[in-house]
Amino acid sequence: MSHKTYEESKKAVVKGLFLLGAVTLVEVFISLFGKGHIIPAVKDIAWIAYPIGLIIAILSVYKAYFIIYEFMHMAYEVKSLAITVLLPTSLLIWALFAFFQEGSAWKARRQLVKEKNNISIEPSKEKQGFMDESLFFRL
């Protein structure tokens, strides 16, 4: 744990809040720029969406890093504790990417089957079995 005085801690918090505010303003400006609210012709440029999304993701990860290491005092802890927090977090991020990839692949396969069979995959309205609406009103 850091041995700062009250005034030093107060200055560090104010500095951190201004840094987070500045990064957030940059993110908002980049988002508005990418959507064409600042320069309308930008929204018609297709290749610009990927770099803008990447920049916003990097800035968001930086803000999360700063909050965890400064405000949650992880910077002042021993290295092994920091690793025990960061390893599950990295596995969670990996799982999110894996689930999104799997969901996209599943959606693509479902669309392929739908086009191949030229049928509707939506549930039929004729008979729904035990989940019929009338069962809920018989109580």
* Domains held by the chain: number: 2
63 shares its domain with 114: no
pLDDT over 60 at 83, yes or no: yes
Average pLDDT, rounded, for the chain? 83
pLDDT higher than 70, residue 12:
yes
Average pLDDT for 31-42 = 88
Residues 28, 68, single domain; the answer is yes
Residues 68 and 109 in one domain: no
Full domain range(s) for residue 22? 1-76
The length of the chain in residues reads 139
Assess if residue 88 is contained within a domain.
yes
33 and 88 in contact (C-beta within 8 Å)? no
Q: Give pLDDT, residue 139.
A: 46
Q: Are residues 12 and 45 both part of a single domain?
A: yes
Residue 127 covered by a domain: no
- Both 15 and 66 in one domain: the answer is yes
66 & 82 share domain: no
Q: Would the CA dihedral through 34, 89, 104, 121 be positive or negative?
A: negative
Is the model's pLDDT at 20 over the cut of 80? yes
